[in-house]
Each structure stands twice: as C-alpha cells, then as structure tokens.
C-alpha cells in the first residue's frame, strides 16, 4: 500500500492569468495594424515603352556620332546628330499625346541629351578640326560641353517658372545642330572660308554655341504649336516647301536655318531692350525683364 500512497509528480504547467477584455482588444488592434503594414508594401513600378524608346534611339544616334568621329567619318557623325535631334523632339510630344509622362522619362531624356547634344558635338568638332589648335581646341570643346550640361540642369530646375513659349538660352539640340551643320557643310566644301582660317572659325562657332546655351536670351520654343489642332491649308503648303528646300541641299539649308535661329534670341532680346524691357544676356534673371 505504500506504493499506492506515493504522490504523483505534478506537471510543470504554468497557468497564465486570463487577459482582460481591454487587453484582448489591444491585441486585436495590434494584429490589425500588422496586416495594414503588410498590405502597404511598395508596388513594383515599370516604365513607359513608347516615349523611352524614342529617347533610347536618340541616345544611340549620339553614341553613333561619337564612334563615327573616332573613325574619321565626320559626315555620318553630323547626320547622326541631326537624327538624334529629330528623335528627341518626338519623345516629349509622344509622351504628352499618349499621357505617358513620368519622372523617369524626364531624367532619362536629360541624360540622353547630354550625350547626344553635349558630348557628341564637342567631340565631333574636336576630332575634326579643333585638335589642330592644341590647348585652345580642347578648351573650346569643353566650353561647349559644360554649357550643354549647365543648360540642361537649369532647364530641369526652371520647369514651370519661365515662359513656355521661349527657351531661356539656346536649346542644346539647336546648338548641336549648329555644330553638326557646320561640320557637314565644311566637309562638302561649301564654305567660303580659307583652310588656314577654318580652325579659328570653328573655335568661334563652338564657343558661341556654348555661351548661348547659358545665356538668358529668349529663343522661341515652338511648344505653343499643337499638332492635334487644325491648321490652314497654307500651313501645309509651307511645310511642303520646307521639305523641298531641305531635300534640295540638306547641309546648306539646315545650317542656314539654325544660324538664323541661333541669332533670333538676341534679336528678340534687343527688341525688348529697345521697348524698355531690359534683360541681361547672362545671369539668372526672369525672361520678362520688366513690368507688363
């Protein structure tokens, strides 16, 4: 009987106190908050294909221009820069027409412009003729390249501040077209300039294009034109005449067009100065320059 009177060992079980109704409610709220945190995970974001495809094509043309300049095929390099300019003008309009604007597209477009309209024209001009000037040659190329970088940076920070009808300074695609048109025209032997003067003419044009990009001269942007609106029949005829002129002699016509455009901003600035609306050519000031 002694064995039957032996006490059984107790199980090591700890009895927790019962939670009050308030504690249960707090635990349920914490679990609900955890579910909200799990649901609020960041979504994977993609990029729009159509406008960025045009930007990539423009970037390819700029890189192709650099490669052709290294291979001493400067005519192909100049044509590639013009192709990049056309593609760059299409990506923004396509994005606005299809409502596919994005912050990624804006940054990608700026980086592409720096290659196609900043580095490529400077390197093409240097490889073609500026290297004959030694130190002065690569300094002129650097002035252009730095001007393009400053122009793009200022454009990105002044979006929504300046008048959309005008660019603050010469746009980098127009400056690149000015350089590429000069190279293309000179290679075709259609410039009435002596060979001994050609490096210094190229030097002056390169510095002028670089300085114009960081100026405050108002250049017409063309953003007021909406391709979705109706136009008169005469406008269609004007475009047809433009195509005929460009196709008749592309290097001469394109270079003359962009020379006129590169001067137009200073003409507008001079006209505003005559009317009493003084605006500094260089420096960070508004384009208005006076009271309306």
Q: Name the least confident of 176-180, 239-243, 253-257, 262-266.
A: 239-243
DSSP codes, 43-61: PP----HHHHHHHHHHHHH
Cα(270)–Cα(281) distance, rounded to whole angstroms?
A: 10
**Contact (Cβ atoms closer than 8 angstroms) between residue 152 and residue 116:** no
Query: What was the pLDDT predicted at 161?
Result: 63
Is the pTM above the cut of 0.85? Answer: no
C-alpha neighbours within 13 Å on the C-beta side of residue 174? 25
Query: What was the pLDDT predicted at 120?
Result: 96
Cα(135)–Cα(143) distance, rounded to whole angstroms?
A: 12
Look at 58 and 235; give whichever has higher pLDDT.
58
Query: What are the backbone angles phi and psi of residue 48, rounded to the nearest 5°?
Result: -75, 135
Question: What is the average pLDDT score of the chain?
Answer: 80
Among residues of the chain, what percentage have pLDDT more than 70?
Answer: 73
Query: What was the pLDDT predicted at 167?
Result: 85
Query: What was the pLDDT predicted at 105?
Result: 85
Query: What was the pLDDT predicted at 37?
Result: 47
Segment 278-292 shows an average pLDDT of 47
Checking 126-135 for CB contacts under 8 A at 24+ apart, the result is 127/69, 127/70, 127/72, 127/74, 128/69, 128/74, 128/183, 128/202, 129/186, 129/198, 129/199, 129/202, 130/199, 130/202, 130/203, 130/206, 132/199, 133/199, 133/200, 133/203
Cα(214)–Cα(153) distance, rounded to whole angstroms?
A: 10
Query: In whole angstroms, what separates CA 62 from the centre of its chain?
Result: 13
Query: What was the pLDDT predicted at 286?
Result: 46
For residue 41, give the DSSP letter.
P
pLDDT higher than threshold 80 for residue 118: yes
Query: In whole angstroms, what separates CA 40 from the centre of its chain?
Result: 34
pLDDT higher than threshold 50 for residue 157: yes
pLDDT digits (tens, 9 = 90+) for 198-215: 899 999 999 999 999 999
Look at 183 and 162; give whichever has higher pLDDT.
183
pLDDT higher than threshold 90 for residue 33: no
């Amino acid at each position: 009987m002694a064995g039957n009177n032996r006490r059984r060992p107790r199980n090591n079980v700890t009895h927790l106190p019962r939670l009050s109704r308030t504690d249960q409610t707090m635990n349920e709220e914490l679990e609900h908050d955890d579910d909200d945190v799990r649901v609020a995970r960041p979504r994977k974001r993609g990029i729009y294909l159509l406008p960025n495809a045009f930007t990539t094509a423009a970037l390819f043309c700029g890189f192709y221009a650099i490669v052709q300049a290294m291979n001493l095929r400067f005519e192909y390099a100049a044509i590639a820069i013009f192709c990049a300019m056309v593609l760059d003008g299409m990506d923004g309009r396509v994005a606005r027409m299809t409502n596919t604007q994005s912050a990624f597209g804006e940054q990608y477009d700026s980086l592409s412009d720096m290659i196609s309209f900043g580095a490529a024209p400077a390197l093409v001009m240097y490889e073609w003729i500026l290297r004959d000037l030694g130190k002065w040659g690569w300094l002129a190329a650097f002035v252009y390249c730095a001007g393009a970088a400053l122009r793009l940076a200022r454009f990105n920070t002044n979006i929504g501040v300046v008048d959309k009808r005008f660019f603050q300074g010469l746009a980098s695609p127009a400056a690149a077209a000015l350089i590429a048109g000069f190279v293309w025209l000179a290679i075709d032997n259609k410039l009435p300039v002596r060979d001994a003067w050609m490096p210094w003419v190229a030097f002056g044009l390169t510095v002028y294009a670089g300085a114009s990009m960081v100026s405050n001269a108002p250049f017409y942007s063309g953003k007021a034109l909406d391709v979705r609106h109706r136009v008169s029949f005469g406008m269609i005829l004007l475009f047809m005449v433009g195509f005929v002129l460009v196709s008749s002699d592309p290097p001469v016509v394109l270079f003359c067009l962009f020379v006129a455009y590169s001067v137009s901003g200073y003409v507008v600035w001079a006209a505003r100065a005559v009317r009493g609306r003084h605006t500094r050519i260089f420096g960070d000031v508004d384009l208005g320059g006076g009271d309306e």
